[in-house]
A = this chain, B = another copy of it.
């Protein structure tokens, strides 16, 4: 244990004199599995969040070739479970954590391959930035994956994937693995080594039951912890965003900010977030729009879906193209700027922050 010297706001040290007696005390602490607060107050309780995780951008043009190469070299099957390559935040020591709470990965499935079924406490989703041809089978319900779709596999639902085509397919996975790992909440169970249903319907059973706006089946009146919708289709997302911008053109309140349309994916049984730990959203900026400077508690990940633009992360601008992903750790200031119409998928740990009442937001320096 290093004896660090904390200071007050004016820089005055309030630490004990370094004597043999003190060293003996500190040794006794160590021997008894104790650790004093006064040597580390500022570290444990900083003035504002000072994440170890850093803001970082991963380029799709680098991710995709590595995923393809993995497709050539690495089998997919029981044990490894998934050919998923996790984004490892440079500030987090190499662990496959994009942030302290979130996992983000590119997953790759070769032609005709199957990733076997399993289930786990961890909540998961997939988002498809390009391609098609894979079905995710969730508790026996085959769900088509296509460009722009958000697919859910909430905690403790069996799921596997299979590629029904002669083309490989890549997509991104988002999970709460780091949160789960850190807080020891995860259970895991193997399922079928294949998927339980190789049918390839265009629309899943969950969608057929639940994707009718404002309507709820009488057979489904019990609220559920996570959304019963397996796939949020691009067709609906795109239409919702298009309408928001048209309404804005007509002078109607509809967008978040001028030139900035956005939807949140929700659990239709409650109107709340799709899963207890993960928020999913889609944002569309008109060409030329720059969003205000924002700081939020909790971490968030974006993937560019369409168009070109840039993100300013802690004062540094990064150009962005289709498929690029970036992470914004807690309280790091950020804003987006669109060079063309600019479409971005977003996910975050905001439900954790809100449910535990840690959320704070600052927009252009003002608490919101």
Contacts and interface: CB of A to CB of B under 8 A. Distances in A.
A363 interface: no
A75 B352 contact: no
A120 to B, nearest CB: 5
Nearest to A183: B100
A316 to B, nearest CB: 16
B88 A34 contact: yes
How many copies the complex holds: the figure is 4
Contact of A34 (B85, B120, B360): B85
A172 interface: no
A243 B217 CA distance: 10
A124 B66 CA distance: 47
Contacts of A180: 45, 358
Given A215-B264, A355-B356, A41 B237 contact: no
A18 B116 CA distance: 23
A153 B218 CA distance: 23
B37 A247 contact: no
Interface in A327-368: 329-331, 349, 351-353, 355-358, 360
9 contacts: A25-B73, A44-B96, A100-B183, A210-B214, A214-B236, A215-B265, A217-B254, A219-B253, A352-B356
Given A14-B80, A51-B184, A213-B268, 13 more contacts: A19-B73, A22-B74, A35-B85, A36-B96, A39-B80, A45-B122, A183-B352, A185-B358, A218-B263, A219-B253, A219-B254, A221-B264, A225-B357
